Amino acid sequence: MADLHTEVEERSQVVEQVEAMMSQVSPAAADVIIIGGGPGGYVAAIRAAQLGGRVILVEKDELGGVCLNRGCIPTKVMLSSADVYDIVTRRSTEFGVNVGNVTLDYAKVLDRRDKVVKQLVSGVHFLMKKHNVQVLKGTARLASRTAVEVTMPDGKKETVSGRNIIIATGSEPVALPIHGLEGENVWDSDGALRATEVPKALLIIGGGYIGVEWGYMFQKFGSQVTIVELMPEILPQTDSEIAAELRKILEKHGIHILTGSQVAKVEHKKGRETATIRGSGDSEQQITADKILVAVGRRPLSAGLGLEELGIATDRGKVLVNERMHTNVANIYAIGDVVGGMLLAHKASEEGVVAAENCMGGNSRMNYNSVPGAIYTTPEVATVGMTEEAAKKQGMDYKVGKFYFRANGKALGLGERAGFVKFIAGAKYGEILGCHMIGPHVTDLIHEVVIGMDAEATIEVIGRAVHAHPTLSEVVKEAALDASGESLHKG
């Protein structure tokens, strides 16, 4: 990556030549053309417009991209419905609330989801109009370093020119080459969203955050769920203690989890799917389900863009960029899932800001050390920075602080006592290397640590900061204090 950065910087003369050439282009030319209107692309458009840029945004589908239309937002709306249903049917008496006959109206769950998505998509359209961003609906292809050809839905083509181009085309679900893994009973995440009823039995291939969230949701809605994960533990990129804790909770709630296992083949029998699962030592078992959800990850959407013709460097579909989001071709940038790394909407948005600022003459750079991750099960999972396994592997001298939600008054009041907060900090200076949480509302709590890391605060700063009582945030404070053996409430 450093070599790529050096190569890009050495091409400053090419950038100047491009700008000189573009200064002679008609006034209708844009300062920035953005290909893709997801959370990376539309945020880049807004930021470039805020800086005075003339912006053209090309999107072949709906503004908001996968995240808003088929990913982050609709699934979180459905997860909220699953949590309400679970509380009413399973836990209401715990809070002294007795209810009568409760049923699930899945059609209404989907209707509510679609209304929320529609509202947010409308909001993105409003923002584009507010910032005078020209939106073109169509499929884009790079015609040159300063021009994009757009094929409209009716087949007509239009070429637009600009000083800079940002590629923000996102990603798509990965398919698996498994015999029999096909047909209407086999879903990817998009197929799961299109489902109009809850399957009685669901087999999920992949125990990452996508598979875990869908498994949690459908189990709460009444499905018999099995998750098959190739690695030794679910959530392979997460701190192992956090992953093990979530697995224990999911299994307690009835989800069957098979780790160190893979699907060898699938057979269609009488309208259902029977999967042969191969585990350690070539042991095999068969599981029959109504539907199979393939959730093994996503791959960059970069084919057909014309990258090869312009000499834009790629690696297995990923567009290679430096920390300024600059490709190896002057005035062309790339952001979001198409550049790989963490496939997160908020990471794409921040990359969009960085790229837009650089398009408009700035010198912004991405900092990936403090990008948080979030998983919206109950309990939630949130992470930022280095795991303990990574610190150990790198031979770092570190210390660990930990505190449990079961000792927190607010958590007990909420009836959410499971989970803990875990800090990884430098042993000598107390710098925060990472923080990993499982518990109630931790996807919100994590940002105290994110800001602390960006501000280069030590673990002692968070431990000594006054936290309101009773709040869940006290668990963060106590975990920080525990790193130095100073926790006030640890038994």
pLDDT of residue 136: 96
- The stretch 200-227 carries a mean pLDDT of 97
Are 472 and 421 within 8 A, CB to CB?
A: no
Q: Which residue has the tokens 């884009």?
A: 140
Annotation marks residue 131 as catalytic: no
Considering only the top CATH level, what class is 373-482?
alpha beta
Place of tokens 């999972």: 381
Instruction: Judge contact between 200 and 224, C-beta under 8 A.
Output: yes
Q: Please report which confidence band the pLDDT of residue 168 belongs to, taking 50, 70 and 90 as the band edges.
A: very high
Give the strand pairing for 201-205 and 224-228: parallel
Taking the C-alpha atoms of residue 61 and residue 37, their distance in angstroms, rounded to an integer, is 8
Note the pLDDT of residue 358.
Answer: 98
Model pLDDT for residues 470-485, shown as the tens digit of each residue: 999 999 999 999 999 9
Comparing 491 with 360, which gets the higher pLDDT?
Answer: 360
Decide whether 2-66+113-172+299-366 matches 373-482 in CATH topology.
no
pLDDT tens string 115-157: 999 999 999 999 999 999 999 999 999 999 999 999 999 999 9
The arithmetic mean of pLDDT across residues 411-433, rounded, is 97
Residue 13 has pLDDT above 50, yes or no: no
pLDDT over 70 at 21, yes or no: no
- pLDDT of 219 over the 80 cut: yes
CATH 3.40.50.2000 at 2-66+113-172+299-366, yes or no:
no
**DSSP structure string for 108-171:** HHHHHHHHHHHHHHHHHHHHHHHTTPEEEESEEEEEETTEEEEE-TTS-EEEEEEEEEEE---E
Mean pLDDT of 388-398: 96
Q: Looking at the predicted structure, is the pLDDT value of residue 11 above 70? A: no
Which pLDDT score, from 0 to 100, does residue 323 have?
A: 97
Mean pLDDT of 286-305: 95
Catalytic choice (179, 268, 436, 469):
469
Average pLDDT taken over every residue of the chain: 93
| Contact partners, residue 306, CB within 8 Å, separation at least 6 | 141, 142, 143
The arithmetic mean of pLDDT across residues 166-188, rounded, is: 95
In the chain, domain spans: 2-66+113-172+299-366, 186-296, 373-482
Q: Which residues contact 93 (CB under 8 A, 6 or more apart)?
A: none
Superfamily for the 186-296 domain = FAD/NAD(P)-binding domain (3.50.50.60)
pLDDT of residue 491: 83
